Structure 1
Amino acid sequence: MGRLNFFEETRFEKLPVSVYATEKEASLTVARHIAEIIKDKQAKGEIAVLGLATGATPVRVYENLVNMYKNEGLSFQNVVTFNLDEYYPMQPDAKQSYVSFMDEHLFNHIDIKRENIYIPNGTLKKEDIADFCIKYEHKIGEYGGLDIQILGIGRTGHIGFNEPGSAPNSGTRLVTLDDLTRRDASRDFGGKENVPTKAITMGIGTIFKAKEIILIAWGKRKSSIIMKAVEGEITGNVPATYLQLSDNVKFVLDKDAASELTRFNTPWLVKDCIWDDNLIKKALIWLSSEVGKPILKITDEDYNNNGMAQLVTEQGPAYNINISVFNQLQHSITGWPGGKPNADDSQRPERAEPARKRSIIFSPHPDDDVISMGGTFIRLVDQGHDVHVAYQTSGNTAVWDTDVLRYVEFAIDFNKSIGQETTVLERIYENMRTFLKIKKPNEIDLEKIRDVKAFIRKSEAYAGARYAGLEDSNIHFMTLPFYETGKTEKNPFKEIDVQLTTKLLQKIKPHQVFSAGDFDDPHGTHKVCFKIILEALKQLRKTEEWAKECWLWMYRGAWDEFETHEIEMAVPLSPMEVNKKRNAIFQHQSQKDHPVFPGDDEREFWIRAEERNRETAVNYNKLGLANYEAMEAFVRWKFEN
């Protein structure tokens, strides 16, 4: 397949898979391959017929194609495109429509002829859809079929909108969307209730007729379904597994999307390994789970019977390996997240000195601090450290509109009660009510509405941080500009975001920085916020001595948790501390019960946090370590020298 580089297949993988270090590299490779098809067809005087996908996954592929048009002379005059699908019903000028998506990311920026663009019509009368679908299939046939079909994959395993239960010979048709698919789309629509329940999609049988099929996927959130699609049995419950039946399909992944494939997740089952400490720890934790034994009870026979004979032969006997890993895990547990004063810290996660550290907790949204590390936050304060918290964004998109009216009504009544003039406030309130009555899904709020939403989140953040024990002088609201778009889709961060972060770091000169490490946060804010902190610290480390001694700890919890083998600091929580953490989370009333953007986890944030913390503790206990009520987990970022 031209430039695409395929790794050696394993006995577990049932179709060709190419894995790249980054989404950027993989996207460029796919774009260059598409360009080669277009140019080959141009040389022959033929039309190139492309099957295109939408969603976040192919965006960079399209960016690269646009760059090739602008900078490398790639022409699309001989290109005809057919899109996989479209929501139904859907107006083509709606922001959420795939017509708008394709225009924004590709068609408006290249020289393709408009009459050569085909996208399913979301405005049809229901009785006209079947006839439209037949004609859509015929039109593809009139052009000689698709030369290449680009696919993404949904977390239900859908390709196009062929949800579980779709037949392998299905054609273009109207389908009902799975609830998980609608939840994944909810942010684009301002809530799941606004996501259409149906869509028009090419069928699996239609896709199979393409001369070449490339499925692309990026990120850890896709790793589980990729593993099922590549290594699982063919089943209608995971429609992407039908691709195993095609001789023309290839998967192109980044390393995160491929991370659950056997050759990456448990490589000792595939081939001999180069055993370093991290791989040994991961393998032994896996083996403990496989045989149902704590680490210190695992035998040489257990190693031999579970694909790990090489390890026990090279570095055994088993007990020597077991005790080494057991000690590593035991040393990760500490009740002193700021370091234990006057203690030997050679086998502790944090340094003993200075005994009183300056610590700053960066919270991407106004509640991530207490949700993800509330117990550690409170303990750092209780143990006498100079703790600061910095709320990086206002979080103003995640407040219900009804809360805005309620708070403004309160303000009006309060002002009246103390004899203050309320005419201006009442006028603003009426403007808000009028706007909210006609507000469209995901429409940008009025500035005053955005302000009130930010004030609500700010007041809750103050309450949570004060409950944790902080004085107001140690609570910082950054309101980073990248976030303040008024939209759920945010701008890329800029130098001003880094400068604001650098200024705060220079003011505090922390010994410890805690930052959200949820890189698979489905909304992307956590990852952007981490990159800003990382860039600021990298710049400071070049010139300021304190920065070279500053340790960066990553936490998770709102969306996911670190794997046990990754954890470098585990802070145990008592039942009382779990309860205090819960109360800190409860200060964020606007996020209680049913937050605006819950992701694909319907549990309340405090329940998610408690259950994840308890699961971490249970995992440690199963390995033979002490049985704690709960644990918060951290991984230290390693800076390059």
Structure 2
Amino acid sequence: MTINHQEIELIDSFEQIAVEIHPAAKEGSQAVAQQIAALIREKQAANEPCVLGLATGSTPKYLYTELVRLHKEEGLSFKNVVTFNLDEYYPIEPDALQSYNRFMKEHLFNHVDIPEGNYHIPDGTVPKEKIKAYCEAYERKIEEVGGIDVQILGIGNNGHIGFNEPGSNINSHTRLITLDNTTRLANAYEFPNMSQVPRLAITMGISSIMRAKRVILMAWGSHKAKIVRRSVEGHSTDQVPASLLQQHPNCQFVIDEQAAQELTRYKEPWLTGDCEWTPKLIRKAVTSLALKLNKSILMLTDRDYNENGLNDLVVQYGSAYELNIEQFNGIRDTITGWPGGKPGANLPNHPERSEPASKRVLIFSPHPDDDIISMGGTFIRLHEQGHDVHVAYQTSGNIAVTDEFVLRFIDFAVGFDKMFEIDSNKSSKVLEEAKAFLKIKKPSQKDTPEIRAIKGLIRRCEAKATCRYVGVEDNAHFLNLPFYETGLVEKKPMGEEDIQITVDLLQKLKPQQIYCAGDLADPHGTHKVCLDIIFAALERLKNEDWIKDCWVWLYKGAWQEWDIHEIEMAVPMSPDQVMQKRLGIFIHQSQKDVVPFQGTDLREFWQRAEDRNANTAELYDKLGLQKYAAMEAFVRYHFL
């Protein structure tokens, strides 16, 4: 999409805060890091301190990684930097795994030359009766160094900045607050379960943030898109604390393309001025209009297009009728009951090739249940239609097994040995030691390697049982990619070994069709790393003869679905097939009823999957296509 000067002026009429959009979080974070580095050097030249307000959570991780790189590789010194962190859980020990004190040291302070006395993080151990005086002293420290030069922010799904929840007054100062339940749910991925997420936090107030000379709010991912739009384009209201930044004289949002999807310039660019009408944008415009007016595509009229800023399309096609027919047929052709291609059929508009009739298919599953949750109906159908289906489980998924579930299996294993008088002293000793550790394990304590291995084995057995249920038991591949094996929610970046393991499997199988998770809304970040590893492996193999005949399809996970205009292959399911998929998901008993680290969605995975698949089918029905019980959706990735 190209934007001219008139379009920029129209964008400004929608966006009340300056917005800078980057392709992805990494590029956006690097841009912010360069701005901070320039300010630090400018202050150094003037022999002045550079005062930064810092945030925690997943949003600023790339930013801190880049600042550390600039220090180590380009000599950026932090000796004149003074920092104040936005917030901290309360109560919490500074060395707890979830402590923001620990977070900042691990991600930034321990890797640069900032003097220890120059960084300030709210203390989660201050006695409650002393909190008010402590918060007032925190504010005075900021004033004594001349105020914050640049305040870095993230944004919560409910619009909170820092831990200033909806309803926080614009004049609020640093204080102890009660966390909104949606915030606790969003942060639950950091804790073993919801009951251990703190209910209180110390946070700088909105007034404290507004006094910063400059504010940069960063937001990454499609799950932040709606709240970004409300903050930037909606009314300034304390019900969306981030929207109050519209009143700041020097505020900028730095976001990625996923977080920008709900902004008018992305969602309805035709309203911001002239735009380049690509086939994808035309489909987006037509489907959006049909759903907005609650009409099927074939019922849209010239007047509908004209009254909704889409007159250009009617002019281009000559009439709404011609436009409607083209788009209806295009969406109709995405529907297929033959995800591996229909053998012997000449269907030029079919999503997949007819030949070879029997394909070797490789499904990459980031966690041991993503295959059945995300594309279980397609998985089963591919096997039933005669394709050689393999599944590669990329990670062990061990952190998502509760301690109680481990104890249940330990009791079974020890009891089994005793019942049949099996002499297995060594294994019994390991199991008893694991059981003893779990009894005294602290909420913030990392599992031992033995317990992580037990948890991984539980999930591996469930994955094998799923493959057995589908009929491909011998085609399960457990990659156990090293990046995942930290024992913590926080993972390592992808490494050479991760890529090579994936390359080796691809070379061994030489698949004609690959499925992988394109779901970047996974709160753990695991799906994103797994996808990057696959892309890196495909890049290395792109000159191989076999890969020229390999097609890659991306599916979404339990967290979200492709937008209707993006879908290139939709595989329908009958009510019986929906039930068949549900029973396959039920095999993963360790993930049923209570799911650790589940994020903001309290539904079980089978419920999320069924609701998502039913909603996709409903959208097709609303557009005037065939009505099915459910649909699984895919987008093709062109890597050559």
TM above 0.5, yes or no, is yes
For these two proteins, the number of residue pairs brought into alignment is 633
- CA distance in 1 between counterparts of 2:119 and 2:619 reads 53
- CA distance in 2 between counterparts of 1:194 and 1:316 reads 61
Match of 1:356 among 340, 358, 381: 358
- CA distance in 2 between counterparts of 1:114 and 1:533 reads 41
- CA distance in 1 between counterparts of 2:197 and 2:385 reads 48
- CA distance in 2 between counterparts of 1:126 and 1:385 reads 64
8 A Cα contact 1:412 1:426, kept in partner: yes
Please name the residue that 2:4 is paired with: none
- Report deviation, 1:232: 1.1
- Report deviation, 1:197: 1.0
- Structure 1 SS opposite 2:14: coil
- After superposing the two structures, state which structure 1 stretch, 396-405 or 162-171, moved more: 396-405
The answer to whether 1:531 aligns with 2:513 is no
CA 455–262 in structure 1, closer or farther in 2 if over 3 Å, else same: same
- After superposing the two structures, state which structure 1 stretch, 382-391 or 473-482, moved more: 473-482
- Structure 2 SS opposite 1:75: coil
| Same amino acid, percent of matched pairs | 56
Please name the residue that 2:3 is paired with: none
- Report deviation, 1:95: 2.8
- Report deviation, 1:422: 4.5
**1:395 corresponds to which letter in structure 2?**
G
CA 425–75 in structure 1, closer or farther in 2 if over 3 Å, else same: closer
8 A Cα contact 1:332 1:567, kept in partner: yes
- CA distance in 2 between counterparts of 1:114 and 1:7 reads 45
RMSD: 1.7
- Report deviation, 1:372: 0.8
The answer to whether 1:201 aligns with 2:203 is yes
Please name the residue that 2:597 is paired with: 597
Please name the residue that 1:498 is paired with: 499
Please name the residue that 1:229 is paired with: 231
Please name the residue that 1:577 is paired with: 577
- The superposition leaves residues 78-98 of structure 1 with CA deviations (integer Å, 9 ceiling, x where unpaired) of 222211111111222223222
Alignment gaps of 5+ in structure 1: 1-5
**2:92 corresponds to which letter in structure 1?**
M
Match of 1:284 among 283, 286, 302: 286
Match of 1:398 among 397, 400, 415: 400
Please name the residue that 1:87 is paired with: 89
8 A Cα contact 2:462 2:588, kept in partner: yes
1:88-487 aligned within 5 A: 88-470=90-472, 472-487=473-488
- CA distance in 2 between counterparts of 1:33 and 1:185 reads 29
- The superposition leaves residues 193-245 of structure 1 with CA deviations (integer Å, 9 ceiling, x where unpaired) of 22211111110011111111111112222111111110111222211111111
- After superposing the two structures, state which structure 1 stretch, 559-568 or 383-392, moved more: 383-392
8 A Cα contact 2:187 2:599, kept in partner: no
8 A Cα contact 2:464 2:476, kept in partner: yes
- Report deviation, 1:274: 1.1
Please name the residue that 1:39 is paired with: 41
- Structure 2 SS opposite 1:349: coil
Please name the residue that 1:514 is paired with: 515
- CA distance in 2 between counterparts of 1:322 and 1:20 reads 33
8 A Cα contact 1:617 1:628, kept in partner: yes
- Report deviation, 1:276: 1.3
Please name the residue that 2:617 is paired with: 617
- Report deviation, 1:631: 0.6
The answer to whether 1:549 aligns with 2:552 is no
**1:193 corresponds to which letter in structure 2?**
S
- Structure 1 SS opposite 2:260: coil
8 A Cα contact 1:493 1:528, kept in partner: yes
8 A Cα contact 2:538 2:639, kept in partner: no
- Structure 2 SS opposite 1:347: coil
- CA distance in 1 between counterparts of 2:38 and 2:533 reads 37
8 A Cα contact 2:98 2:444, kept in partner: no
**2:635 corresponds to which letter in structure 1?**
V
- CA distance in 1 between counterparts of 2:533 and 2:384 reads 29
- The superposition leaves residues 525-549 of structure 1 with CA deviations (integer Å, 9 ceiling, x where unpaired) of 112212222222222221x211111
- CA distance in 1 between counterparts of 2:216 and 2:635 reads 35
**2:143 corresponds to which letter in structure 1?**
G
Alignment gaps of 5+ in structure 2: 1-6
- The superposition leaves residues 161-193 of structure 1 with CA deviations (integer Å, 9 ceiling, x where unpaired) of 101110011011000111222222223232222
- CA distance in 2 between counterparts of 1:114 and 1:33 reads 23
- Report deviation, 1:7: 6.5
- The superposition leaves residues 33-71 of structure 1 with CA deviations (integer Å, 9 ceiling, x where unpaired) of 222222322333322222111122222222332333333
Please name the residue that 2:561 is paired with: 561
- The superposition leaves residues 490-516 of structure 1 with CA deviations (integer Å, 9 ceiling, x where unpaired) of 222222222222222222221111111
- Structure 2 SS opposite 1:310: helix
- After superposing the two structures, state which structure 1 stretch, 189-198 or 600-609, moved more: 189-198
- The superposition leaves residues 144-171 of structure 1 with CA deviations (integer Å, 9 ceiling, x where unpaired) of 2212211111112111110111001101
CA 50–13 in structure 1, closer or farther in 2 if over 3 Å, else same: same
- After superposing the two structures, state which structure 1 stretch, 160-169 or 460-469, moved more: 460-469
**1:607 corresponds to which letter in structure 2?**
Q
**1:101 corresponds to which letter in structure 2?**
F
CA 152–547 in structure 1, closer or farther in 2 if over 3 Å, else same: same
- CA distance in 2 between counterparts of 1:51 and 1:417 reads 61
- CA distance in 1 between counterparts of 2:143 and 2:299 reads 63
- After superposing the two structures, state which structure 1 stretch, 253-262 or 328-337, moved more: 253-262
8 A Cα contact 1:519 1:526, kept in partner: yes
CA 499–41 in structure 1, closer or farther in 2 if over 3 Å, else same: closer
Name which structure has the greater RCO, CA cutoff 8 Å, separation 6+. 2
**1:421 corresponds to which letter in structure 2?**
D
- Structure 1 SS opposite 2:51: strand
CA 137–7 in structure 1, closer or farther in 2 if over 3 Å, else same: farther
- Structure 2 SS opposite 1:526: helix
Please name the residue that 1:49 is paired with: 51
Using structure 2 for the length normalisation, give the TM-score.
0.96
8 A Cα contact 1:282 1:565, kept in partner: yes
8 A Cα contact 1:511 1:549, kept in partner: yes
- Structure 1 SS opposite 2:409: helix
